[in-house]
Structure 1
Amino acid sequence: MARLFGTDGVRGKANVDLTAELALDLSVAAAHVLGEAGVFDARPTAIVGRDPRASGEFLEAAVIAGLASAGVDVVRVGIVPTPALAFLVNNADADLGVMLSASHNPMPDNGIKFFSRGGVKLDDALEDAIEQRMGEDWQRPTGASVGRVTTDLGAVEAYVAHLVSSLGADSSLEGLKVVLDCANGASSMTAVAAFETQGAQVIAIHHDPDGLNINENCGSTHMGDVRRAVVEHGADLGLAFDGDADRCLAVDAQGNDIDGDQILAILALTLKEEHKLASDTVVATIMSNLGFVNAMRERGIRVDQTKVGDRYVLESMNANGFVLGGEQSGHVIMSEFATTGDGVLTGLHLAARMARTGKSAAELASVMTRLPQVLVNVTNVDKSRAGIDPEINAAVAKANHALGTSGRVVLRPSGTEPLVRVMVEAGTTEEARRVADELAALVKQRVSL
């Protein structure tokens, strides 16, 4: 049986894979496992938030019911970004946080992410323990021992104040015109307020969520509208968030994309100049472009590469005392201010770097040269078999040998979607495309459902 938890919580199509019953059972099991692990106080408190998608309404109700039935007091904070939920758990010294979101996934999907005290994601061992406890008989509290439920829809204001304070008292974004694509998601409640508080002129697009339009042809997975808006309005910078605002991608004044690797490079150099980059090291994943690794090496910065997933980036940061890490997809973790990836925080610090230096986004992004990279998603395959199939492994090894030091292949099953990703970097786009297509065809042939 496949593991229930993926690289970023439990995800699936809402009311098909991710049902109210599953959400309730998961919440009860989480309460028991974390309580027995010594995470909880005698009377534990959980904070529950969600992104705007419609299915979050019934899943939120199920999670709250499960926690309260297990004796956990619950504070419902409504629609908030995932990093806001993590911040609120830490800020309130709560015992548990639960976020209902499928991040960048389409609207019909949803997900459940658990945060422990301090606003940190659970490790694999705790997730496995929760999965094993689901459906077990348990002693139910009664009377005054059941959990109580309260609502605090104003908690997000404390998060926005935290974002603004992270820039420092003398930091201003006055003079910058910024387009913000909120993906009709949770950043609609935070991003505009944060940037306007710092003096930026803001043009907001896709900031009117109705429960059905989250990530629909907008946000960090569909950059066309933010590119057009930047050029149309003569903006200095465009920022695109995903549905739960834990990632951020950018666009320069000419409408050219600035990906997560480039943003990470800009922030790494900023921290190094300020003597704040611990061990002169930045953490990235195996999917980061070789151009990023080369640029960092040339400037005396080491890159510690992990498995894909911001949780693994964070694990390395916590274990080694590193302060900056991220992914090409736009997840960036600045541990001085956040315990998880935070798109709005990232965008604010990128804009602040522009304001302080007087440099354009394009100038800052030119610190690295991206090698041509092609990513092919292979659907309708058994992703659990792709990494162990001997013919696929042999083909990947052969391709890596042929590319040599000027390229590489990474083939991996997605942790959040039912597909296999084939990523190829090479000296030219044409060569990368040829190799990627050949490997994708082989994956389709060997492990097709």
Structure 2
Amino acid sequence: MARKYFGTDGIRGLANGTKLTPELALKVGMAAGTKFVRGDHRNRVVIGKDTRRSGYMIEQALTAGFTAVGMDVYLLGPMPTPAVAMLTRSLRADLGVMISASHNPYDDNGIKLFRPDGYKLSDQIELEIEKLIDSDMTRYLAKGRDIGRAHRDEEARTRYIEYAKRTLPRNIDLSGLRVVLDCANGAAYKVAPIALWELGAEVFTIGAEPDGFNINYKVGSTAPEAVAAKVKEVRADIGIALDGDADRVIIVDEKGHVVDGDQFMAVIAESWLERQMLTGGGIVATVMSNLGLERHLTKLGLTLERTQVGDRYVLEAMRSKGFNVGGEQSGHIILSDFTTTGDGLVAALQLLAVLKQMDRPISEICARFEKVPQLLRSVKFKAGKPLEHKQVIQAIADGQALLGTAGRLVVRASGTEPVIRVMGEADDAMLVETVVGQIEAAIREVA
């Protein structure tokens, strides 16, 4: 059944646009609160947000909705998405909420929901919440003393910093490392620099001056040029770029070259294999991960379990099949020994631990395999369903025929924006260019 409000990662859209309005946020608070009110205790929900100006508006609307159905609200302020997931468990909350549109521009926003155990909601529960949103919820309104109240949690930031620091191996600190940290003017602008500094690193911070409108603007994981330039300027050992809600991380080596999530996962997999920490006999990644990663893992006797795009699907496979390392090429790295979702800071700390242990340049550490030529194109469209058009279907079929068994082709609609992603890879770079170009052209023609 198609979902009306939820996408691949919660509810997302233009703030005060056609979907994401204070009215909807109010209804989400009432519906999700109704769904997760349980037992005879005072039910509680924790709410974090990134630094978008519209976060204030959505936060207050959600608070009204939750308190209206009898939930107490704990407001965390600017806080990474993984911190909200962790604090939902730590504070024994009945529900967790993150207000963020992740790597999107400032005028977008979103609502992500977490279960009491810190995991994202299933498709089924999201559907049940959608039904409540579209129903008459006045019968669920609390009365008198049962109406909820709101609190500001001033200790949440410290809780998360200490939690993140404890994920670093006990015999390791970061003294002697020069680290450039790009916080994307987003949710981690306070917690991440403090954590790295307290662990001993010399930290050069950029993207840590949010004004409500500059989140992800020419900084962060989607604009690694900023951290790369700073790495070269200060001659740092490594650059770390987070996205707006800090569940994603991109690494830049000491030469200013970007290290993608596939190489990152290869390093963690090998490190954890050597430390006898790796479970499941491999890792989980999406259909977008490079074929070179799969070949590399095979040589190590490990498997690569592929899922559809979306960190929630990676995590589902990890949980069902016993893996503890997974992620996406884009930088969502999930280490389930520590987290229930992608955590850019925690993942970066694991790489910094390897850097300290090996005492080699990060450019060498993160060159684990040779990437197979891969090309990704994003095609915007205004309306309709281009992937259902006969011309596009035929172009995709022709492309698959050209690649045969020597390559891979993935064509999908983004779950968070009106964009079609076209990815092709094969050892023959020119063939990949041809196939992707033909499909891109077909989509543009019908879109």
TM class by shorter-chain length? over 0.9
**For this pair of structures, how many residues does the alignment match?**
443
Distance 2:286 2:242 in 1: 20
Instruction: State whether residues 184 and 243 of structure 2, in contact with CA within 8 Å, keep that contact through their aligned partners in structure 1.
Output: yes
Q: Secondary structure at the match of 1:222?
A: coil
Answering whether residue 394 of structure 2 is matched by residue 394 of structure 1, we say yes
Answering whether residue 149 of structure 2 is matched by residue 148 of structure 1, we say yes
Instruction: State whether residues 79 and 186 of structure 1, in contact with CA within 8 Å, keep that contact through their aligned partners in structure 2.
Output: yes
What corresponds to 1:185 in structure 2?
186
1:316-355 residue CA offsets vs partner (Å, 9 max, x unmatched): 1111221111000100011111000000111111111110
Answering whether residue 311 of structure 2 is matched by residue 307 of structure 1, we say no
Q: Secondary structure at the match of 1:99?
A: strand
Once the two structures are superposed, the pairs formed by residues 338-357 of structure 1 within 5 Å of their partners are 338-357=339-358
Answering whether residue 49 of structure 2 is matched by residue 21 of structure 1, we say no
What corresponds to 2:258 in structure 1?
257
Task: Provide the TM-score with structure 2 as the length reference.
Answer: 0.96
- Alignment CA distance shift 1:294-1:129 (3 Å): same
Distance 2:58 2:260 in 1: 33
Distance 2:190 2:86 in 1: 15
Deviation of the 1:385 alpha carbon: 4.6
Answering whether residue 66 of structure 2 is matched by residue 64 of structure 1, we say no
Runs of 5+ unmatched residues, structure 1: none
What corresponds to 2:96 in structure 1?
97
Deviation of the 1:407 alpha carbon: 2.2
Answering whether residue 418 of structure 2 is matched by residue 418 of structure 1, we say yes
What corresponds to 2:238 in structure 1?
237
CA-atom RMSD, angstroms?
1.5
Once the two structures are superposed, the pairs formed by residues 72-87 of structure 1 within 5 Å of their partners are 72-87=71-86
What corresponds to 2:200 in structure 1?
199
Distance 2:221 2:227 in 1: 9
Q: Letter of the aligned partner of 1:394 in structure 2?
A: Q
Q: Secondary structure at the match of 2:130?
A: helix
Q: Letter of the aligned partner of 2:442 in structure 1?
A: L
What corresponds to 1:32 in structure 2?
34
Q: Secondary structure at the match of 2:339?
A: coil
Q: Letter of the aligned partner of 1:228 in structure 2?
A: A
Distance 1:301 1:312 in 2: 20
What corresponds to 1:403 in structure 2?
403
Q: Secondary structure at the match of 1:278?
A: coil
- Alignment CA distance shift 1:237-1:229 (3 Å): same
Distance 1:441 1:268 in 2: 38
Distance 2:155 2:384 in 1: 42
- Alignment CA distance shift 1:314-1:159 (3 Å): same
What corresponds to 2:42 in structure 1?
43
Distance 1:385 1:66 in 2: 37
Task: Provide the TM-score with structure 1 as the length reference.
Answer: 0.95
| Higher deviation after alignment, 299-308 or 165-174 | 165-174
What corresponds to 2:334 in structure 1?
333
Instruction: State whether residues 41 and 95 of structure 1, in contact with CA within 8 Å, keep that contact through their aligned partners in structure 2.
Output: no
Distance 2:285 2:88 in 1: 26
Deviation of the 1:381 alpha carbon: 4.6
Distance 2:156 2:267 in 1: 31
Deviation of the 1:429 alpha carbon: 4.2
What corresponds to 1:320 in structure 2?
321
Instruction: State whether residues 78 and 188 of structure 2, in contact with CA within 8 Å, keep that contact through their aligned partners in structure 1.
Output: no
1:80-124 residue CA offsets vs partner (Å, 9 max, x unmatched): 000010010011111100110000000000000000101110000
Distance 2:155 2:104 in 1: 27
1:8-66 residue CA offsets vs partner (Å, 9 max, x unmatched): 0000000113100000111111112233xx5x664211001100110001100000110
Distance 1:445 1:340 in 2: 38
Percent pairwise identity: 42
Q: Letter of the aligned partner of 2:286 in structure 1?
A: T
- Alignment CA distance shift 1:382-1:296 (3 Å): farther
Runs of 5+ unmatched residues, structure 2: none
Answering whether residue 165 of structure 2 is matched by residue 164 of structure 1, we say yes
Distance 1:25 1:134 in 2: 6
Deviation of the 1:393 alpha carbon: 2.9
Q: Letter of the aligned partner of 1:296 in structure 2?
A: L
Distance 2:396 2:425 in 1: 13
Q: Secondary structure at the match of 1:121?
A: coil
Q: Secondary structure at the match of 2:439?
A: helix
| Higher deviation after alignment, 163-172 or 377-386 | 377-386
Deviation of the 1:2 alpha carbon: 5.9
Distance 2:57 2:177 in 1: 41
Answering whether residue 290 of structure 2 is matched by residue 285 of structure 1, we say no
Q: Secondary structure at the match of 2:12?
A: strand
What corresponds to 1:8 in structure 2?
9
Deviation of the 1:282 alpha carbon: 0.3
Deviation of the 1:404 alpha carbon: 3.2
Q: Secondary structure at the match of 2:262?
A: helix
What corresponds to 1:271 in structure 2?
272
Distance 2:60 2:241 in 1: 30
Distance 2:96 2:295 in 1: 38
Distance 2:84 2:353 in 1: 24
1:400-427 residue CA offsets vs partner (Å, 9 max, x unmatched): 2322344221000001111111111133
